[in-house]
Amino acid sequence: MTETVGFIGLGSMGLPMARRLLDAGYALRVYNRTPGKAVELLERGAREMKTPAETVEPGGIVITMLANDAALETVTLGEHGMAAVLGADGIHLSMSTVSPHLARRLAEAHRAHGSHYLAAPVLGRPTAAAAGKLFILLSGMAAAKHRVSPLLEAMGQGTHDLGEDPAQGHIAKLAANFMILASIETYAETLTFAEKNGIGRMEMMKLLTGTILNAPLFHLYGELLAKEEYTAPGFKLALGLKDIELILETGANSRMPLPAADLVHNRLLTALAKGRGKLDMTALALGVSEDAGLRRE
């Protein structure tokens, strides 16, 4: 590969994704708000830039993998943002979990400069990113999709095309995250119900995953919930709260009541109020155990 790609956001997901691109032979210009995250990449030939704008080559491709709407808007449209530099035929590959509203606004801003916004949020935790096993939810202009397909193949095991509306990829990601978060709540209640009535959490988890819940999602989260291992976050609880708030906002905008999302939102709010924001999002299960009188601070 000879094309240079910009990569903005080197957190727990962005860093292993950038590694995959280096492995595939791409040259990278990288930017991260917190200095020092790029050291490993620099040792492998990546170049660290001082601003988001400097990551971009006119007409090139830039990837963003950031925590929230505010961060994405800043690096795109803020002072030293990259939208104006990207220019004609450039592509912004937006892989963060952000609001559909912001996606449409950024797509319009890019169109004004002759460039393209592609939604490409991912399903998978950091271990999947490191192994190139992400699932990618893609939407936007067809010609731009074709151009980025080799990059997506380097980072993921499968891409789901959701049409040309740049918001659809982000809507699909929110829907999938809603399923995950609601499943964690249900799973936590199920294991706690079993524990409260004399069946061990691990025993119940193995029963479930060996019968009615024999799927990767339930094996992964079931083990974390059964072992109550929440201190090594693959996905921080604070980010889970951000996502459920985007889900509720999108539901309200489409006149869609989401009572299960309200429940999970309250669970996550309580966990954050108790200082658990840096734990894994499965730590919402601590609240379930506390309600049942099974856990003490």
Q: Which CATH number does the domain housing residue 194 bear?
A: 1.10.1040.10
99-129 burial, b for 16+ CB within 10 Å, e for fewer?
bbebbbbbbebbeeeebbbbbbbbbbbbebb
Q: Of 26-30, 73-77, 228-232, give the lowest mean pLDDT range.
A: 228-232
Average pLDDT over the chain, rounded to an integer: 96
Tell me if 259 is assigned to some domain: yes
Whether 185 is in a domain gets the answer yes
Does residue 142 share a domain with residue 15?
Answer: yes
Determine the pLDDT at residue 295.
75
Query: Same structural domain for residues 15 and 151?
Result: yes
Among 115, 147, 165, residue at a domain's last position: 165
Among 149, 165, 181, the domain boundary falls at: 165
Residues with Cβ within 8 Å of residue 32, at least 6 apart in sequence: 8, 9, 10, 11, 14, 38
**Does 192 lie in the same domain as 117?**
no
Does residue 89 share a domain with residue 10?
yes
Whole-angstrom distance, CA of residue 196 vs CA of residue 293: 9
Torsion angles phi and psi, residue 122, rounded to 5: -120, 155
At 88-140, the pLDDT tens digits run 999 999 999 999 999 999 999 999 999 999 999 999 999 999 999 999 999 99
2 pLDDT band (50/70/90 cuts)?
A: low
Read off the pLDDT of residues 172-199 as tens digits, 9 standing for 90 and up.
Answer: 999 999 999 999 999 999 999 999 999 9
* CA max distance for the chain: 64
> Within a 10 A sphere around the Cβ of 285, how many other Cβ atoms?
27
Strand partners, 236: 280
Out of 165, 187, 211, pick the residue that ends a domain. 165
For residues 158 and 208, membership in a common domain is answered with no
Same domain, 131 and 64: yes
pLDDT class for 297, splitting at 50, 70, 90? low
Are 179 and 138 within one domain?
Answer: no
Active-site positions read 173
Q: What is the pLDDT of residue 86?
A: 96
Residue 296, pLDDT > 80, answer no
The answer on pLDDT for 1 being more than 80 is: no
Residue with tokens 């049942």: 292
Q: What is the pLDDT of residues 200-210, one digit of tens each?
A: 999 999 999 99
Check residue 36 and give its pLDDT: 85
What per-residue confidence (pLDDT) applies to 175?
A: 98
Work out how many domains the chain is built from and give that number.
Answer: 2
For residue range 210-243, list pLDDT tens digits in order.
999 999 999 999 999 999 999 999 999 999 999 9
| Ramachandran category for residue 247: left, alpha or beta (phi over 0 → left; psi -120 to 50 → alpha) | alpha
Encoded tokens for 98: 């952000």
Q: Verify that 185 and 229 share a domain, yes or no.
A: yes
In a domain, residue 264? The reply is yes
**Residues of the domain holding 220:** 171-291
Residue 216 lies in a domain: yes
Encoded tokens for 257: 């009541």
In a domain, 199, yes or no: yes
State residue 3's pLDDT score: 84
Distance in angstroms (rounded) separating the CA atoms of residues 17 and 232 = 19
Whole-number pLDDT of residue 51: 97
Asked whether 18 and 25 are in contact (CB, 8 A), the reply is no
